[in-house]
Amino acid sequence: MTRQLLGPLAANRQFFAGMSPERVDPGRVEPPVQSIPKIISGLDDITPGSLDAINRVYSTIFETVIPVSKPEVAEMMKLYENCQRMVCIAYANEMADACIPHGINPYEVCEAASTKPFGYMPYSPGVGVGGHCIPVNPFYLLSNSHFPLLEYATLAMHSRPSRLAERMLKRLRQRVTVRTPRVLVVGMGFKAGQSQIDNSPGADLVRSLAVSREVDVCWADSLVKQSALPQVRRLLDEDWRKDVLRKFDIIVVASRQAGTSFDILDELDGVEIERWCQ
């Protein structure tokens, strides 16, 4: 993409060009940005000296700068990083779905596996993946290459909120027969600490429940305003208390926002709590 977009311009106007993928995690402050190794590349075959120019710029900021042979390597590296995460989380979700019928806590399984100091990287199950990168990046690779494992994982991840909604509806049809069941979904930000709901799995879960017209659904998130998801009612912050929460049949925790006391959920007798985060 860098070559197609900038190559002709760089050749005609003789400016340096290259590609350096971002490596950021919104909301994370550790490790500090300057300590994260920076991958750089340049179109030296079009404008000689591009890689050296980019190296000089980023070396003033980053402690470690790693050059690769051409922009295509840097681009593929970024997609490989993010798509690996998609596949691994999809596998963690499959593990969780297999654990639940057997009465096994999937998060305890994850914590136990994380004690292995080699050959294992921790991934936790959840409602899905959100944000601007991980849900979208697989489609760049799938547009012109054959990735059957990635394709399956991506489709499974995108359909997960609706599948979780259907599982909930099935249980509620059996449990609550004389009135409309009430469901609260907690966590609309695409991940903890975020107010944006871009590709938010929590928001997708709320929408899936709402369009079913089988439940009275609302959502809670201390960082997200009602205007972000106007179609479904937001639980007021002052209503995060036992007497209000007891009125729900199911409370689903999609993500945990700082400043919200989740200990109160342990005190709600008779309310099913479905936790999809630690």
Query: 232 pLDDT exceeds 90?
Result: yes
pLDDT in tens, 238-276: 999 999 999 999 999 999 988 889 999 999 999 999 999
pLDDT in tens, 5-23: 999 999 999 999 999 999 9
Cβ-contact 141, 173 below 8 angstroms: no
Residue 250, pLDDT score = 98
- Amino acid letter, residue 90: A
Q: Please state, rounded to an integer, the average pLDDT across all residues of the chain.
A: 96
Residue 110 among the catalytic residues: no
Of the pLDDT bands very low, low, confident and very high (cuts 50, 70, 90), residue 25 is confident
Residue 259, pLDDT score = 82
Query: 27 pLDDT exceeds 80?
Result: no
pLDDT in tens, 62-105: 999 999 999 999 999 999 999 999 999 999 999 999 999 999 99
Residue 255, pLDDT score = 94
Active-site residue, from 83, 133, 218, 277 = 133
Residue 35, pLDDT score = 96
Q: Per residue, what are the HEC states of the chain?
A: CHHHHHHHHHHHHCCCCEECCCCCCCCCCCCCHHHCCEEEEECCCCCCCHHHHHHHHHCCCCCCEEECCCHHHHHHHHHHHHHHHHHHHHHHHHHHHHHHHHCCCHHHHHHHHCCCCCCCCCCCCCCCCCCCCCCCHHHHHHCCCCCHHHHHHHHHHHHHHHHHHHHHHHHHHHHCCCCCCEEEEECCCCCCCCCCCCCCHHHHHHHHHHHHCCCEEEEECCCCCHHHCCCCCECCHHHCCHHHHCCCCEEEECCCCCCCCCHHHHHCCCCEEEECCC
pLDDT in tens, 113-168: 999 999 999 999 999 999 989 999 999 999 999 999 999 999 999 999 999 999 99
For residues 109 and 193, the model is more confident at 109
Q: What is the pTM of this model?
A: 0.92
Nearest Cα to 101, choosing from 33, 153, 171? 171
Query: 24 pLDDT exceeds 90?
Result: no
pLDDT in tens, 172-225: 999 999 999 999 999 999 998 899 999 999 999 999 999 999 999 999 999 999
Residue 28, pLDDT score = 80
Residue 248, pLDDT score = 98
Residue 278, pLDDT score = 80
Domains of the chain: 2-69 (no CATH), 111-275 (3.40.50.720)
